Structure 1
């Protein structure tokens, strides 16, 4: 079935509302955990809604309510091969909202990822907004993906203009769907490479950029040959576009090498000579341990995820 993107977005919004009404909820795990759980006996085929739209398991006739199957068909996101059907989207829960994103595995170049780092990033953004004394009039989520960060900020900064920017058209489609589901009218998804496609300064910049060293070079995952190049580019953009009193909340990751943190060292170099005051902390010291078995991280002793917060002095 060929469906135009406007129709797809409208039907996915309708599907999300149906799922909310049905009480659907799902917490998305890491790809390694997802694969491990799906390998368990009895998990090869879906038995219910969460299996299909959370665990991305194949299913067939009679598993889902007909209304849900119809909406998946109308959105053009249901693949059928005989009695083996698969949804090309998932829905995940966070902060009382549902977010549509790509089905597992996220192998395609235009995949839109949602997972534990999304929760961590959005939590960090929410905590910053709630502790901030100065009002937020204008904010941007760089590399917004599903728009989870932008939506989280908008819910806590009523009246603010919040841009959700990405270079991936699929991410912007899903961000528009998720914005509609959350009812956050202040969020505006738009195409931009970092901040090159949008104008003006910002009171708040948030980002959870790709930070892995990905031999396949997938845009949603690859942060550069050392993993932190994109994070440093965001630091540079923030240094130019933060308003007085404005802040950056950057959630990223780094491979620790013999006790050294290359991202922290690179960040110090990027921010040297600016007027930004910054803080840096590890959120989790040991994640994605399965990556240590591959050549990309043969040099690292662990992979950590971190939050960097930088603030420009108020005038």
Structure 2
């Protein structure tokens, strides 16, 4: 097999470009590549430092999204990038249109920085927090998971983390973003988890039946641009999070659980998301707990009009479980 003839081991249903993207990730993994993705604000600050204008290594190209000159990368990697349609070239200057980030021992493909396109697939610190919350909840349970779903899967990090720990389960990765589903499929193949099923779906409308586990890290920001990965909907960015709570009420199986990682703008020590969740779950049979994971994130957003009344933005985890 040459580098321009991607392997078929990634599975059926892969386009030639997706096979090349898989093989690009596999090559990076073999090379020992690793990268921890920061918030966009931190990413921009680091890239603006003197000496960071150009990539000088693999993390510079595939993590920091810096431009690179011909000759930096092995020809085999450049060929795979071209075959995967993720190579932007102007003269002697090149740039990767995707990033690869490390999480839970695997590599995940997602959109290059900056994520300004409507269909950008985002990966960041909240991804790590969500995966940690989902894994901790899963490992604390004494009931096997047979059906699970990652709602608004993005890179598929949640679905893949669950699938690794519940290899006999059917794990659905649902999203309205086709690019997210494509990247999830590639990352699941890189992780070697064949039980992840990407499905184009608004919430869980595209999947029948109940679930033993629902995990989600939905968009929760107020975003004027309306980007799919960022805008949570509604005046406070909570509409999608609350819709997922409603989904859990309707679709959790007996003893099934929801693990929802979200966020809220705190105004005068008041958390409007927690209040809304309490109203949604009042009168249901779900037992639930709500806690702040980090009291102060995305502080740069406090300068904007959307969060002009907020004193801080917190990220939170909601867990809700149906009795047996």
TM-superposition CA deviations, 1:174-231 (whole Å, max 9, x none)? 0000010001111111111001111000000000000000111111100012111110
Please give the alpha-carbon distance, in whole angstroms, between the structure 2 residues aligned to 1:43 and 1:6: 35
Give the alignment partner of residue 98 of structure 2, picking from 89, 92, 98: 89
1:113 aligns with 2:127: no
TM-superposition CA deviations, 1:27-73 (whole Å, max 9, x none)? 00000000000000000111111100000001110111111111001
Alignment-derived partner of residue 60 in structure 1: 69
Aligned-pair CA distance for 1:270: 1.1
Q: How many residues align?
A: 311
Alignment-derived partner of residue 284 in structure 2: 274
Please give the alpha-carbon distance, in whole angstroms, between the structure 2 residues aligned to 1:151 and 1:90: 18
1:305 aligns with 2:315: yes
1:234 aligns with 2:257: no
1:38 aligns with 2:52: no
Q: Give TM-score, length-normalised by structure 1.
A: 0.98
Alignment-derived partner of residue 269 in structure 2: 259
Aligned-pair CA distance for 1:294: 0.4
Q: How does 1:1-315 map to 2 (within 5 A)?
A: 6-224=15-233, 225-314=235-324
- Residue pair 1:89, 1:103 contacting (<8 A) in 2 also: yes
TM-superposition CA deviations, 1:70-89 (whole Å, max 9, x none)? 10011111011112211100
Q: Give TM-score, length-normalised by structure 2.
A: 0.95
Please say which of residues 267-276 and 162-171 is displaced more in the overlay. Answer: 267-276
- The answer for unaligned runs of 5 or more in structure 1 is none
Please give the alpha-carbon distance, in whole angstroms, between the structure 2 residues aligned to 1:22 and 1:197: 38
Q: CA RMSD in A?
A: 1.0
Please say which of residues 258-267 and 218-227 is displaced more in the overlay. Answer: 218-227
- Runs of 4+ more than 3 Å apart: none
Please give the alpha-carbon distance, in whole angstroms, between the structure 2 residues aligned to 1:103 and 1:293: 25
What SS does the corresponding residue of 1:18 show, helix, strand or coil? helix
Alignment-derived partner of residue 3 in structure 2: none
Please give the alpha-carbon distance, in whole angstroms, between the structure 2 residues aligned to 1:76 and 1:157: 33
Aligned-pair CA distance for 1:158: 2.0
- Residue pair 1:129, 1:157 contacting (<8 A) in 2 also: no
